[in-house]
């Protein structure tokens, strides 16, 4: 089934990826269920309006279900499967109803409640299940490699009406996200960071010294690759801004590209969008300093501040 989406497999330059078990996430389950239900509807030759008329639901509800914007009750999945003529009690029926139940489970991030926006919950839900993360950050250290003090300074500098308590909760979420790098099996992280991110004195000298030390330490983890894009490197394809690509162990879960900007965020899933992002990331890796040269630059920046 699952013919609605196709996984674009773009290898990380210089690294072989093996499918390994990872932390389950209700966000990924909801996304897979949405695509499966979309494929079932198309296999049945029905439009969204056809289904809405038969169930006396709004077309918008069907659309939100198929775009994974809402969690769908197992009861509603059964209603849909009957219309799509999926055999009741058969393997496909059981698999989709089970997905609906698993999509309703709560992830670890729900404990942080209002400290997280809906887009952040989606990001963390996807990130938790990902086996590989590829990120490009031209202006700041990637969140998964930030220290508490650096993350706190970044949030205080943002033009948002956050209280100190809200900032602390947000920092706690960011620190909890980093545990994926040291859990077993750990997430693979490949980060290309702009030189400006290691030169900008976020939070002052002491905070930045701690952050640079953290970058150096993380760069030696076997599952972390860090490269620096030098300011003198000229124009490159990543100048449009930061992004992160997430890859999952199951072929049924296509890659997702996360793009964050000042007033919101986007999750790109179209094959052509994912393929374009993978191409950009490959070019960034080729244009950035080598791993050893990147460590040297971070070390030099550290010495200049000390």
pLDDT given at position 24: 66
Q: Do β-strands 188-194 and 132-137 pair in parallel, antiparallel, or remain unpaired?
A: parallel
pLDDT at position 65 is 93
Q: Which fold has domain 26-103?
A: 434 Repressor (Amino-terminal Domain) (1.10.260)
- What's the full length of the chain, in residues? 306
| Whole-angstrom distance, CA of residue 36 vs CA of residue 42 | 10
Task: Tell me which CATH code domain 114-305 carries.
Answer: 3.30.870
Which positions of the chain have pLDDT values less than 70? Answer: 1-24, 115, 161
- Cβ-contact 210, 140 below 8 angstroms: no
**pLDDT tens sequence across 111-144:** 877 767 888 888 999 999 999 999 999 999 999 9
Dist CA 156 CA 160 (whole Å): 8
Helix (H, G, I), strand (E, B) or coil at 130: coil
Instruction: List the chain domain ranges.
Output: 26-103, 114-305
pTM flag (> 0.85): no
137 three-state secondary structure: strand
In this prediction, residue 9 carries a pLDDT of 31
| 26-103 and 114-305 have identical folds | no
Span between the terminal Cα atoms of the chain, in Å: 59
């Amino acid at each position: 089934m699952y013919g609605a989406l196709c996984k674009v497999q773009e290898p990380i330059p210089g690294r072989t990826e093996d499918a390994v078990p990872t932390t389950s996430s209700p966000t990924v389950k909801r996304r897979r269920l949405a695509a499966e239900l979309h494929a079932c509807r198309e296999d049945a030759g029905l439009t969204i309006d056809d289904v809405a008329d038969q169930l006396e639901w709004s077309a918008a509800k069907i659309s939100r279900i198929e775009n994974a914007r809402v969690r769908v009750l197992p009861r509603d999945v059964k209603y849909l499967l009957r219309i799509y003529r999926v055999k009741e009690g058969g393997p496909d029926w059981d698999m989709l109803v089970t997905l609906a139940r698993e999509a309703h489970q709560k992830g670890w991030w729900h404990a942080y409640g209002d400290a997280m926006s809906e887009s952040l919950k989606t990001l963390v839900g996807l990130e938790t299940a990902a086996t590989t993360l590829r990120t490009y950050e031209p202006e700041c250290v990637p969140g998964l490699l930030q220290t508490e003090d650096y993350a706190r300074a970044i949030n205080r500098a943002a033009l948002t009406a956050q209280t100190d308590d809200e900032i602390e909760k947000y920092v706690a979420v960011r620190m909890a996200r980093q545990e994926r790098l040291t859990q077993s099996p750990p997430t693979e992280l490949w980060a290309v960071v702009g030189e400006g991110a290691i030169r900008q004195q976020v939070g002052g000298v002491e905070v930045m010294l701690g952050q640079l030390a953290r970058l150096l330490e993380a760069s030696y983890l076997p599952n972390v690759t860090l490269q620096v894009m030098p300011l003198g490197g000229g124009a490159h394809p990543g100048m449009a801004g930061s992004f992160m690509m997430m890859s999952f162990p199951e072929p049924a879960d296509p890659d997702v590209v996360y793009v964050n900007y000042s007033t919101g965020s986007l999750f790109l899933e179209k094959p052509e969008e994912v393929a374009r992002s993978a191409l950009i990331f490959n070019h960034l890796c080729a244009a950035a300093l080598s791993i050893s040269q990147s460590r040297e630059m971070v070390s030099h920046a550290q010495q200049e501040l000390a």
